[in-house]
Chains A and B, each alone.
Chain A
Amino acid sequence: MTYVPVLRFCQTYAVLIMIVLLVIALTLLSDSFLTVPNLLNILNQNAPLAIMAAAMTLVIIAGGFDLSVGSIFAVGAVCSAWLALNVNPYFGLLMAPVVGLLLGLMNGIVITALNVHSFLATIATSLIFKGAAIVISDGRLIPVRMDAFTWIGRGKLGGVFLSIWVLLVFALILTFVLTRTSFGRKVLAVGGNADAAILSGIRANRVRIATFAIAGLAAGLASAIATSRISMGQASAGTGFELQAIAAVILGGTSIFGGVGAVWRSVAGVFLLALINNGFNILNADPFYRDLTTGLVILAAIGISSAGKKRDH
């Protein structure tokens, strides 16, 4: 009967096990993989997505889905660039997360006020936000070549990119929120059994709204970093990020039915996807197989995390 604990262990650490295997394989196959610059680069490049995936974890644990974070990212990008050019670069960087937070709040309010599934509501708001981003940028690129704007995306602290520090701090805060605060407990309860949570005196709608607001904030923060790095705001930024973020969360073993999950595993999920990408690059493998491989890895992860669940019905 050691089967169940072993399975549980694999389900919890599947994403780590896969990362370790991939790191070993890539190290053996290429000399340029296990180098500090390469690893820091992977982390740096994927920090914005990882920030979004970390926040998406809370949304999914509370039983929701947010398909609009890619569009919020776009709004954040054009807003911060526009404000940086026309007002002040620091103000531009600051406003991206604020705008994201407001849009996320709007998502949450729409979902709870209309009482519709978040999946449907965020498909609609995603188009609205995307449209707003196009209107704000007038369909053009907004270049911001100012050091006061690009420092957060390109700067380093102690030899490590600032973006990695931001990710680290953000993920730790969310982990703390989820595991140690009463808000985190409410998120787990609402996702695990909304009726029971409501009858326990929890204002479930407020909890759901808060998770969407956090996802919006994260998308805005991610867009500030990414826009600063490329010193350019554009409405097409962030396209497809929502699905990558959701894929990473699920890769990390967070249940799509809500109630169970962990922030660090979603961040690990982002890096697993990134490592596959990086592997294709440094091995000069045929990029035609990249999507196929990524899809197979996600399928395998889902398979592991749902194994043994049939009995629980």
Chain B
Amino acid sequence: MTEQDVALAARGIGVSFGGTSVLRNVDVDIMAGEIHGLVGENGAGKSTLGKVLGGYYTASTGTLDVFGERVETWGPPEALARGVAIMHQELQLVPALTVAQNVFLGIEEQRSGILRHTENIRLLALMEESGFHLNSEDRAGTLSIADRQKVEILRALARDARVIVMDEPTSSLGRDQIDHLHGTMCNLRDSGRTVIYVSHFLDDILEVTDQITVLRDGDLVQTVETKTQTKVDLVSSMLGSETATTPFPKKYRSAKPAATPLLEVYDLCSPFGVNGVDLTIGAGEIVGLAGLVGAGRTEIARALIGADPSTGTVTLDGTPFEARTPARATDRGLVLVPEDRRKQGLVMTMPARANLTLPHLRRFSQRGILSSRRERTQAEETIKTFQVRPASVDGDISRYSGGNQQKILIGKWLVDGPKAVIFDEPSRGVDVGARQLIHEAIAELAARGVGVLLISSEIEEVLGVAHRACLVDRGRIKQQVMTAEVTPADVLQQLFKFQSDSSLDVFA
């Protein structure tokens, strides 16, 4: 270890946005040829530090040495020129271009400005070398998130990156794909490259990293060797006290799921991959949808509320719900908390208050005129319930951390007593504390008699929060299990079995 070169040496790094300091006086050494984890609660500054190291943000204070050389100006082009690339949490590809065009964007082979169209050939060579396989002609916009990540990694490799920063790369991946990504990271390390791995999944960090840097509230806690750490160690240094709770949230259950069906779904089909779903949710019941990536869970949710056109019958609270549209669904009290808070969930140009009341404007207005006093009162209440930081009703949510944005997103749907709520990945990209709050909110809803459909890529979350789980494969519910009776391993095994069964179907 001592003989290794230092790839990146940061000293006294500080970052502030709009007067708020998010990172203070951080010293960190990233060794060449290691996988270095950055962990911390949401808002601790792990993502910001990753972005500073990767050249996406410029630090307000401090110095940075890259492979022994002090850098003066530091931005994406300078970082790339020195072999440092960053893979963003929200992937940044050009959707209309092909995989190959994206990978070699800006570094195409050319002769006096005229492209030579060698990208496909170059990509084949690169894929051969790195062990990734994608169809070079596919448009980036049509790829799954996992494949898009591969494109990002290939893009970094095409630029001969020696250091790759990965910011929450696993947040939208299924278990199998995470394992694959970890394999990739190890390959990168074995070929002498350095990976900086920013994640809130501590198991993942522990599994694959060599060193871990822990941050808390913008301060450096420590950099430690991974093999000396356990999850409990990490959580307690993240939270700053030895009394830290368990790394996994407590299981919340409402006392007794009622027998009366609240939401009944029969033969739900949509052209986006829902192929005949039958489902019943009782009042006060939490039903989980578990499945591998691409199983069609989100699509089921979208079909239910009418965001996608669909066929089949849906009965809500005893009356049929026909001609489904999101507006009618909201009126009837069937709501979806979408998975992608930036694209589908929040209006970033509006303050926290306006986002919180958006689905319930009728309640805050009289003859079309809004009562800003009532709005403020409600917003203050929600912000307090969910402990949103900063706790300002007029806060600019585009500058909030992911966890706090998620709290606003969930809070906005619970303002107006819905009958049934669909949560799509409610705790993606949030820290332990926020996660617990969200799970508490879900359990409390169910206790009030609301029906909940919980979609999550984390099987532990489905089993921990839901009463009953539906296993989804290719737009169908293949099996239902009582969550108290199964283990995550059982479920995962079952899901993989469905998948291999259906791949057999293709050959049959």
Contacts and interface: CB of A to CB of B under 8 A. Distances in A.
A200 B355 CA distance: 10
A184 B365 CA distance: 12
Contacts of B16: 1
A199 B18 contact: no
Interface stretch (A41-49, A125-133, A189-197, A286-294): A189-197
A108 to B, nearest CB: 17
Interface size class of A (residues with CB under 8 A): 20 to 34
A196 B326 contact: no
Contact of B361 (A186, A191, A198): A186
Interface string A224-260: 0000000000000000000000000000000100111
A182 B398 contact: no
A180 B358 contact: no
A196 B346 contact: yes
B330 A200 contact: yes
Contacts of B125: none
Interface in B335-371: 335-336, 338, 343-350, 354, 357-359, 361-362, 364-365, 368-370
B349 A199 contact: no
A200 B368 contact: no
B347 A259 contact: yes
Interface string A130-153: 000000000000000000000000
Contacts of A191: 349
Given A182-B365, A182-B368, A185-B370, A201 B327 contact: yes
B19 A193 contact: no
Contacts of B335: 201
A47 B326 CA distance: 41
Given A182-B368, A199-B307, A202-B358, A188 B349 contact: yes
Contacts, number: 90
A312 B18 contact: no
A195 to B, nearest CB: 5
A71 to B, nearest CB: 30
A192 B18 CA distance: 22
A1 B372 CA distance: 31
Contacts of B344: 193, 195-196, 199
A246 B349 CA distance: 21
B330 A181 contact: no
Residue of A191, A196, A312 contacting most chain B CB atoms (<10 Å): A196
B332 to A, nearest CB: 10
Contacts of B370: 180-182, 184-185
A186 B343 CA distance: 17
B329 interface: yes
B331 interface: yes
Interface string A153-194: 000000000000000000000000000111111101101110
Nearest to B358: A200
Contacts of A185: 354, 357-358, 361, 370
Contacts of B345: 196, 199
Contacts of A255: 349
B326 A198 contact: yes
A192 B346 CA distance: 9
Interface in B1-52: 16, 18-19
A298 B324 CA distance: 46
Contacts of B307: 198-199
Interface in B376-424: 398, 412
Contacts of B369: 180-182
A117 interface: no
B475 to A, nearest CB: 21
A185 B363 CA distance: 13
B295 to A, nearest CB: 21
B403 to A, nearest CB: 18
Contacts of A259: 347, 349-350
A259 B348 CA distance: 9
A192 B344 CA distance: 11
A198 B359 CA distance: 9
A4 interface: yes
A193 B347 contact: yes
B60 to A, nearest CB: 9
A308 to B, nearest CB: 10
A202 B327 contact: yes
Contact of B359 (A4, A181, A188, A201): A201
Contacts of B346: 193, 196
Residue of B325, B327, B338 contacting most chain A CB atoms (<10 Å): B327
B358 A197 contact: yes
Given A1-B18, A180-B370, A200-B330, A195 B348 contact: no
A186 B326 CA distance: 15
A253 to B, nearest CB: 13
Interface string A292-313: 0000000000000000000010
Interface in A188-221: 188-189, 191-193, 195-203
Contacts of B348: 192-193
Contacts of B372: 180
A195 B358 CA distance: 13
A204 to B, nearest CB: 9
Contacts of B18: 1, 4
A199 B336 contact: yes
A260 B358 contact: no
14 contacts: A180-B369, A182-B364, A188-B347, A188-B349, A189-B354, A192-B348, A193-B349, A196-B347, A197-B347, A199-B307, A199-B326, A200-B358, A201-B329, A255-B349
Interface of B: 16, 18-19, 305, 307, 325-327, 329-331, 335-336, 338, 343-350, 354, 357-359, 361-362, 364-365, 368-370, 372, 398, 412
Given A188-B354, A189-B350, A200-B359, 8 more contacts: A1-B16, A185-B361, A188-B349, A191-B349, A193-B343, A193-B348, A196-B344, A259-B350
